[in-house]
Amino acid sequence: MVEELRISVETLTSMVPARCHRDNDVRINSLQFSPDGFSLLVGSDDDTIRIYDASSGICNWRVRSDYGVDNVVFTHSDACCLHTSTTHDVVGVNLSPVDDMFLSWGLDRNLFLWDLRIPDPVGCAQLACRPLASFDPEGIIFAVGINSEVVNLYDLRAYDKGPFNRFFFTKDTSCDWTHMDFSPDGRHILISTNGTVIRKIDSFSGLLLQTLEGRMNGRGIPIEAQFTPDGRYVFSGITFFER
C-alpha cells in the first residue's frame, strides 16, 4: 500500500529535486502523471514520447512520431495516450475525467468534440477567436474561453444548443489566457495566462474571486497553473532560470 501524504505548506516547501534526467536534448513541451501516479508521460520537441516509472525514474517506453509531439495526455487506459501534432493547427486538447470524450482546439478557431471510439468528431463549433477549453470534474459541463475575455459554459448533453451560461471580463491587454482548469470540486475555474498573473473565478456566477500575482514570466510563455488534488493550493511553473 502506498502511504498518502497530506499536502501542506510544510510538505511543499520541503520538496527538493531528487533526480535529473537528460534523455532529451531539446525542450520538453508537456508532461502528465497517470491517474494512479505511478507513471509519467513526457512529450518533447525532438518528436518523442516517453513514459517513466515515477518511482524508479526508469524510462520504460519510448516512441517517435513522424508528425511532431505536443500536449501529451494519458487516456483512461494506461496503454493509450493522446497528443497533438506540430504540423497541424491543433494547439490544445482536454480529456473528459470520466469517459473517452475529449475536446481539441486550434489556430483555425475550431473547437471539436471527440469520442476515442469514433474516428470523426462528434461535434464542432466555429468560434470568432481562438478558444481554449476544459471539462468539469464530472465530465458533464465544459468551459470555453474566448478572446481572453469571455467564458462560455456548455452542457455536454445539449452542447448543440449553445452555451447555457456566459461570463464577460474586462480584457487584460498585458497578457492572454492560455489554459483553463476546474477545481476538483468543480466550484472554481483557474485561468492561466502568458503573463505574471493567474485568475480564479466562480464557475457558477463568473465572479472573479482571486488574482494570483508575482509569478515570474518575463518571456511571455504560456505557463500552465493547476489545482492540487485537494483544491487548496495552486501549482505553476516560472520562466526557466528567472530569479
pTM: predicted TM-score of the whole model, two decimal places: 0.89
Instruction: Give 160-194 pLDDT, tens digit per residue.
Output: 999 999 999 999 999 999 999 999 999 999 999 99
Please give the Cα distance from 129 to 121 (Å, whole number): 20
Please give the Cα distance from 177 to 169 (Å, whole number): 12
List of residues 6+ apart from 91 with CB closer than 8 A: 70, 71, 84, 105, 106, 107, 130
Listed in sequence order, the DSSP H helices in the chain are 9-13
**What's the Rg (C-alpha) of the chain?**
18
Per-residue pLDDT at 2: 60
Q: Which fold has domain 28-87?
A: Thrombin, subunit H (2.40.10)
Task: With residue 34 as reference, give the H or E element that holds it.
Answer: none
Per-residue pLDDT at 218: 80
Cα dihedral 181/240/211/176 (nearest 10): -70
Domain locations in the chain? Answer: 28-87
Amino acid at 82: L
Per-residue pLDDT at 242: 45
Please give the Cα distance from 136 to 188 (Å, whole number): 10
Instruction: Provide the grid cell at 15.
Output: 520538496
List of residues 6+ apart from 189 with CB closer than 8 A: 134, 143, 151, 180, 181, 182, 183, 200, 201, 203
| DSSP conformation letters of 98-160 | SSSEEEEEETT-EEEEEETTSSS-SEEEE-SS-EEEEE-TTSSEEEEEETTTEEEEEEGGGGG
The segments of the chain whose pLDDT lies below 70 read: 1-3, 240-243
Per-residue pLDDT at 223: 84
